[in-house]
A = this chain, B = another copy of it.
Amino acid sequence: MGHTPTTARGRATRERILDSAADLIQQRGVAAVTLDDVERAAGVGRSQLYHYFDDRDDLIRSVVHSTVDTVLAAQEPLLLEVDSLAGIHRWFDAIEANGTRQDAVGGCAIGSLASQLSGRDDLTRQAFVDAFARWEAPLIAGLRRMQESGELRPDADVTELADLTMAAIQGGLLLAQIRRTPDQLRLALRGARAALEDALTPLP
């Protein structure tokens, strides 16, 4: 785990390392980033890296955790609103808007990391399983509330609907990343929309 900084300066340095590393990794991929690169980008020396992190792997793991936290923190306010079809549409719109930002055409930060690292060891893979579970949880909760309020059919499987939605997001972002055309995400979400609307209680 390396040393946890106690002073403000130390915390700032650790953050700077983490942010620089996350940026570089996002741009070039995990394998193409060296510690020298991170040092240069963060403006720190070798000793800092090994002061705050055990080794390269520890740094990568820390980047994974920090990336997951960042993404989920950004999603949270919108995800908590998901308890009606309108709420879902607002969430989708936000995701699409976010995916259309120029710098986000690098795909989903979590998804990219996941496909690069999940083959590494089971512990790393588990980190991503957890990340997706945390991401999905508020969606499942919202869908369940929709079911209780009668908006969603009682026989609909909310877990499966949530899984399907996550898959659409990930697939859409992957294609957007490859094709460098952000609207792939919008199209991908159309499928999830269709499936969700199918599960609505039919109007009387």
Contacts and interface: CB of A to CB of B under 8 A. Distances in A.
A168 interface: yes
22 contacts: A28-B119, A29-B119, A31-B116, A106-B119, A111-B115, A114-B178, A128-B178, A129-B179, A132-B175, A160-B190, A163-B184, A164-B188, A164-B190, A167-B172, A167-B174, A167-B187, A167-B188, A167-B191, A171-B172, A191-B191, A193-B195, A194-B195
B171 A132 contact: no
Contacts of A172: 167, 171
A170 B175 contact: yes
Interface string A108-140: 000110111111100001001100100000000
B168 A175 contact: no
Contacts of A120: 29, 32
A195 to B, nearest CB: 4
A164 to B, nearest CB: 5
A163 B174 CA distance: 12
A169 interface: yes
A10 to B, nearest CB: 31
Q: Could you say how many copies of this chain the assembly holds?
A: 2
Contacts of A116: 29, 31, 115-116
Interface in A58-115: 106-107, 111-112, 114-115
A168 B28 CA distance: 25
A115 B107 contact: yes
A198 interface: yes
Given A163-B187, A172-B167, A187-B163, A115 B198 contact: no
B178 A191 contact: no
Contact of A188 (B168, B180, B198): B168
